[in-house]
């Protein structure tokens, strides 16, 4: 079979509320974020494994609260007073704050400014605040005082939906039979789902074929 050149073209990631599949593993987190106006101290930490849907849920929340999203390490060079004028802010990847004392200082000031005006702060991370490696005691105490909600590892229904969504983001139509085939044969994580879809897309482009069960078998047998 002739191998074709494969180009890593950008794909659209659907991040609307209608694209967020609710299951037992994330329902409580969605409820907690929907009740953002009642958060103790106006802040919440959303945790979960890599590629669990934290960013998707953060975008859903941002759309409803008027928030903007920023990564934790970007705070080191951000205009903190300008961010503090917003009605709500999302800071992602907060587990990386321990890598940057300047980002921690910026996060501390942002937290205080938002709290002073009653604005909401959503922090996402792979781990709870006690594991962020924070070296600024005042920030550590404030982060650990925040309520925490979690997205858990996926069940079958959620993992199936995630696979379908990842394929759809790349404009790839797949059959239920294909999902049923790969589901018991792949690692049980969101990160593995993302890696598998990426590999299948690349393999299909290289071969000039669709994503089929035969192609999936080849990719799964040759990780």
Q: Which pLDDT belongs to residue 158?
A: 81
pLDDT-above-90 percentage for the chain = 69
Domains of the chain: 26-150 (3.40.50.300), 156-221 (1.10.8)
Q: pLDDT tens digits, residue range 134-145?
A: 999 999 999 999
**Weakly modelled stretches of the chain, pLDDT under 50:** 1-15, 17
Q: Which pLDDT belongs to residue 11?
A: 38
Record the tokens describing residue 50, joined without a space. Answer: 């890599």
Q: Which pLDDT belongs to residue 113?
A: 97
Q: pLDDT tens digits, residue range 29-70?
A: 989 999 999 999 999 999 998 877 788 889 889 999 999 999
Q: Which pLDDT belongs to residue 15?
A: 44
Q: Which pLDDT belongs to residue 20?
A: 63
Q: Which pLDDT belongs to residue 157?
A: 83
């Amino acid at each position: 079979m002739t191998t074709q050149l494969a180009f890593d073209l950008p794909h659209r990631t659907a991040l609307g509320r209608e694209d967020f599949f609710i299951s037992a593993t994330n329902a409580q987190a969605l409820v907690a974020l929907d009740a953002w106006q009642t958060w103790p101290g106006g802040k919440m930490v959303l945790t979960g494994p890599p590629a669990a849907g934290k960013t998707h849920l953060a975008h859903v929340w941002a759309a409803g609260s008027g928030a903007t999203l920023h990564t934790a390490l970007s705070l080191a060079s951000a205009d903190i007073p300008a961010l503090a004028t917003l009605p709500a802010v999302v800071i992602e990847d907060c587990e990386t704050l321990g890598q940057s004392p300047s980002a921690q200082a910026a996060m501390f000031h942002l937290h205080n400014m938002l709290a002073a005006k009653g604005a909401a702060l959503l922090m996402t991370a792979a781990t709870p605040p006690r594991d962020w490696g924070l070296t600024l005691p005042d920030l550590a105490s404030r982060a650990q005082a925040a309520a925490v909600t979690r997205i858990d590892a996926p069940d079958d229904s959620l993992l199936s939906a995630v696979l379908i969504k990842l394929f759809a983001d790349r404009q790839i139509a797949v059959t239920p039979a294909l999902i049923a085939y790969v589901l018991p044969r792949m690692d049980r994580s969101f990160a593995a789902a993302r890696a598998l879809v990426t590999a299948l897309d690349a393999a299909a482009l290289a071969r000039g074929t669709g994503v089929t069960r035969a192609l999936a078998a080849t990719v799964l047998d040759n990780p």
